[in-house]
Amino acid sequence: MIIQRDIDYANIKKRLSTYRVTALLGPRQSGKTTLARQFQSNHYFDLENPMDLAQFQNPQLTLTRCKGLIIIDEIQRKPELFALIRYLVDTIPEQNYLILGSASRDLIRQSSETLAGRISYYTLLGLRTMDINSDQIEQLWFTGGLPSSFLAADDAISYQWREDYIRTFLERDIPALGITIPAETLRRFWHMVSHYHGNIINFAEIGRSFGIADTTVRHYIDILVGTFMLRILQPWYVNVGKRLVKRPKLYFRDSGIFHSLLAIETPEVLYRHPKLGSSWEGFALDCVWRSVGKPD
């Protein structure tokens, strides 16, 4: 099956023609690299490739000689590049940058400090209903939108892929961002939070259940939101002057990851699971959210 990402391609192309720097953000395996390679560039650097990384021992020498579109993948591994990119786009008008990152919070903070007015952000999450055939929506709900999970040969392979994805995310990606939380601790917390999917967040209640302070709960949730794993839906206020403070709801961004954390291996198990309604609610919310172009 050919997955259509024409809308994403067109949107990024428009931003590249308007801004000197375009940041393509999203979780790992969401298709950022595949999409970026559709743009013609003689200068593609993957900072997880040791050979490319070696060229950035002297990044100014490497980048100064480049002209046209320059693509840098996994740029959060070298956040010091942002200041250099600001200098280069201000002094070399022939340069344009497409930078890719797998985490939003740190990447946006670093870039906003040095590239204000020069950068546009585009978030690429998993597949949407518009990217697939109409008869595959139920499959998209069950497997989630990460392409490798959706395109797996069967449910067992998809489930195993998501299990490996979660393990790699916790054991490698989180520490690579400088977050020093033990992988097993964060996994147990993530699993506990999965039972709050579609519910109003009670930080104190989660903290008591997990044996930590509510401020620590907020910190852990911020990490999972910033790495595109969770979405916080803020309440709608008619009168912001009311003394009653409404609390937000928590949702998993990817339904397949949510199902894996609940050990739901087949659609038959999902249809008998108590979280069936919450799962569908979260999936429907994501479909609507992205169809109306809400920022992530």
Tell me: the pLDDT tens digits for 218-230?
888 888 888 899 9
In 3D, which of 126, 73, 138, 86 has the Cα closest to residue 270?
138
Query: Is 291:129 a contact under the CB 8 Å cutoff?
Result: yes
Distances (CA, A) of 27 to 14, 31, 186: 22, 9, 17
Tell me: the pLDDT tens digits for 241-290?
666 567 889 999 999 999 999 999 999 999 999 999 999 999 999 999 88
Q: CA gyration radius for the chain? A: 20
Query: Is 35:124 a contact under the CB 8 Å cutoff?
Result: yes
Dump the DSSP string for 233-265: EPPP-S-TT-SPPPPPEEEES-HHHHHHHTT--
Residue 294 CB partners (closer than 8 Å, separation 6+)? none
Average pLDDT over residues 48-64: 92
Question: Domain coordinates of the chain in residue numbers?
Answer: 6-123, 132-291
CATH superfamily of domain region 6-123: P-loop containing nucleotide triphosphate hydrolases (3.40.50.300)
Tell me: the pLDDT tens digits for 210-255?
888 989 888 888 888 888 999 998 887 656 566 656 788 999 999 9
Please state, in angstroms and rounded to a whole number, the distance separating the CA atoms of residues 22 and 118: 8
CATH class, domain 132-291, is: mainly alpha
